Amino acid sequence: MPVNRREFLKKSVSLGAYSMALASGLVKSGPASAEWIAEQFAQGKLEETLKTLFKDAKITESDKIEIQIPQIAENGAVVPITVTSHLDGVDTISILVEKNPVPLAARFDLSPELEPFVSARLKMAETSDVIVIAQAGDKLYSARETVKVTIGGCGG
Amino acid sequence: MSSIRIRAKRIDGKTQIRTLITHPMEHGRNIDKSTNQPIPAHFIQELSVKHNGKVIANCAIGGGVSKDPYFAFMLKGGEPGDKITISWVDNLGQQDSEEHIIK
């Protein structure tokens, strides 16, 4: 089917504008449209993943994010983690494991009906820092905790 | 049988939602020791939690989450009879969904 040139241009322009707006945070993606984005789950260094997730936004360390995680994990295949935040208006909680091949483990978009609380179980390839980033509006807060892994968790 | 199990517990006016999902969560970098072949990636990518039909949590999940993943959330409020729906989609397009009524 031949695509009308004008129609095509119009569509590509509006799509481009939308993705730009999305990237700059103008269009709030909100909990209803959170989707799995391959680049965020790419293999690489923690810094690269953080850049993909948050661009160059400033991340402030905060003691208002509480990470409950064992200091020593005997089995890296299952490391339970519970994150509780005392910050206001947290809408996203991201959990990253610094030394995993894919640093981002999970990203939770939470609606205001939920407390800023989440529990999960992580795989950890080796002893590493676990980083939690809480996003409240356009502000980013982080906390980290070191977990010593005695048996690697690569064998899921 | 559904791959999803849901428990909801009311604590001090809040409702703790816990879920356990049966899924291999293979990230694609493991080698099958008997055949020496890589095990293809097979993991849940998206998980959504609904409360009475309204989405309250949307999660993007990677292979860094353990096999048979467990998640917990804390709902502000929540009444007996409210419906919690949890559904997932994995990287192969498989999906499942389960409902639970808060007691």
Where do the domains of chain B lie?
A: 4-101
Task: Specify whether the CB–CB gap between B88 and B19 falls below 8 A.
Answer: no
Name residue A61's amino acid.
E
User: What CA–CA distances, in Å, run from A130 to A25, A79, A103, A125, B38?
Assistant: 26, 11, 9, 12, 27
Q: Which one, of B57, B28, B46, B9, lies nearest residue A117 by Cα?
A: B57
pLDDT in tens, chain A (156 residues): 555 666 665 666 565 555 555 554 444 444 444 578 999 999 999 999 999 999 989 999 999 999 999 999 989 999 999 999 999 999 999 999 999 999 999 999 999 999 999 999 999 999 999 999 999 999 999 999 999 998 765 554
Structure tokens at A67: 């990470």
Domain count, chain A: 1
So what's the ipTM on this one? Answer: 0.94
Helix (H, G, I), strand (E, B) or coil at B10: strand
- Please report the pLDDT score of residue A151 as a whole number: 73
Task: Specify whether the CB–CB gap between A100 and A130 falls below 8 A.
Answer: no
- The class that CATH gives domain B4-101 is mainly beta
Judge: A113–B60 Cβ closer than 8 Å, yes or no.
Answer: no
Write the pLDDT tens digit of every residue in B44-96.
999 999 999 999 999 999 999 999 999 999 999 999 999 999 999 999 999 99
A120 within domain boundaries? yes
Q: Are strands A114-122 and B37-38 parallel, antiparallel or unpaired?
A: unpaired
A122 within domain boundaries? yes
Which residues, listed in sequence order, are joined to residue B57 by a DSSP beta bridge? A110, B49
Judge: B73–A102 Cβ closer than 8 Å, yes or no.
Answer: no
- Please report the pLDDT score of residue A130 as a whole number: 97
DSSP classification of residue A87: S
Judge: A41–B55 Cβ closer than 8 Å, yes or no.
Answer: no
A105 within domain boundaries? yes
User: What CA–CA distances, in Å, run from B72 to A8, A37, A107, A136?
Assistant: 45, 23, 13, 20
Judge: A123–B72 Cβ closer than 8 Å, yes or no.
Answer: no
A58 within domain boundaries? yes
Neighbours of A136 (CB within 10 A): 17
Residue A52 structural domain = 34-149
Alpha-carbon span A33 to B36, nearest angstrom: 39
A115 within domain boundaries? yes
Closest residue in B to A106 (Cα–Cα) = B61
A27 within domain boundaries? no
Question: Is-above-0.80 flag for pTM?
Answer: yes
Alpha-carbon span A37 to B91, nearest angstrom: 11
Neighbours of B24 (CB within 10 A): 15
E strands, chain A, are 59-61, 65-68, 72-73, 79-85, 90-97, 104-110, 114-122, 128-136, 139-149
A17 within domain boundaries? no
CATH assignment at residue A89: 2.60.40.2470
Give the minimum alpha-carbon distance from B1 to chain A in angstroms, rounded to a whole number. Answer: 23
Closest residue in A to B89 (Cα–Cα) = A36
Flag whether residue B101 sits within 8 Å of chain A, measured between CB atoms.
no
Flag whether residue B62 sits within 8 Å of chain A, measured between CB atoms.
yes
